[in-house]
Amino acid sequence: MTSFQALKHIVQPLLDIYSPGEAVSIAAIVLEDAFQIKPKSIGDEIPFTKEQQKRLSSIVGRLLTNEPVQYVIGHTIFYGLKFKVNPHVLIPRQETEELVAWVVETVRQPAVRQSAVRQSAVRQSAVRSPQSVVRILDIGTGSGCIPIAIKKKRPELEVHALDISPEALEVARENAAANGAEVLFHQVDILDKKTWEALPMFDLIVSNPPYITEAEKGILPKNVVEYEPHLALFSGGNDAQRFVKKIAGFALLHLNPGGFLFFETNEFYAVGTRKILEKKGFTEMELRKDLNGKDRMIRAKLG
């Protein structure tokens, strides 16, 4: 078997469950990530050993069960960084890269720095640097892709992340170590107000929370609903905004005046998210579309 034959060996059976474009894209990921064959080199007829052929057959078998290619390979690329992924964490999406870019852009604004400066006197009373440090929190971190990408881009920030799942946090810590990013992780149930007291104040809070209702489960692709963690997908019951309401309430208590709150949201809930934040007293709301033209991200200011 050669690399070109391997490409056909992957694509042909996948055409039963994926479009031609998706099947070719998955095949390219497999060949590059599992066998280090770049797309431009596939036509060079690179020979496969018997061991490689055996591994390829195993991979194709898993793909035919609708298992996402990222779980089969064991990792994915997000914001130019390599992240371990498994069924304990959601697979990072391209749309979330756009959210990270917006957060990094916002950190440069004077309002965020001033928020940190106003808290510097309080922070200096503790054992920490006398300089004001911008402190960021990611809620529902999963693989840790958001805080790790932010920390790599802006290493001077103090970055925190929380999740309710100990298995997800284990993956996130591995990813932070592998990418050389210092992130402070917390196991916290954000729906339980009693757990909030252990967390400090922040200058910026970001979250890509669960927002799929039980009623919507039937319309999800099989590779999502059968493999990705339901804890990170479903809001619980039929209130899609359950986590948004709770996180907004948390932000009122743990976001410094002048700080910002970010959400990634489903396009159908973007307007509803904005209304919730308005009722909570947030201001300067901005809704942004993703590269596909869908309302995907919202930013709001406290005070």
CA torsion 113→119→124→126, rounded to 10°? -120
Mean pLDDT of 253-259: 96
**Residue 240 confidence class, pLDDT cut points 50, 70, 90:** confident
CB burial of residue 92 (10 Å; 0-12, 13-18, 19+) = buried
Residue reference for tokens 């960084």: 81
Lowest mean pLDDT among 91-95, 120-124, 240-244: 120-124
Question: Which helix (H) or strand (E) element contains residue 81?
Answer: strand 81-84
Query: Using one digit for the tens of pLDDT, what is the confidence trace for 38-89?
Result: 988 988 889 999 999 999 999 999 999 999 999 999 999 999 999 999 999 9
Spatial neighbors of 75 by CB under 8 A, at least 6 apart, are: 33, 82, 83, 84, 85
Query: Using one digit for the tens of pLDDT, what is the confidence trace for 112-122?
Result: 655 555 555 44
Higher pLDDT, 112 or 199: 199
The pLDDT of residue 116 is: 54
The pLDDT of residue 221 is: 81
The pLDDT of residue 127 is: 40
**Residue 234 confidence class, pLDDT cut points 50, 70, 90:** confident
**Residue 211 confidence class, pLDDT cut points 50, 70, 90:** confident
Tell me the whole-structure pTM to 2 decimals. 0.89
Question: Whole-angstrom Cα distance, residue 257 to residue 245?
Answer: 19
The pLDDT of residue 117 is: 54
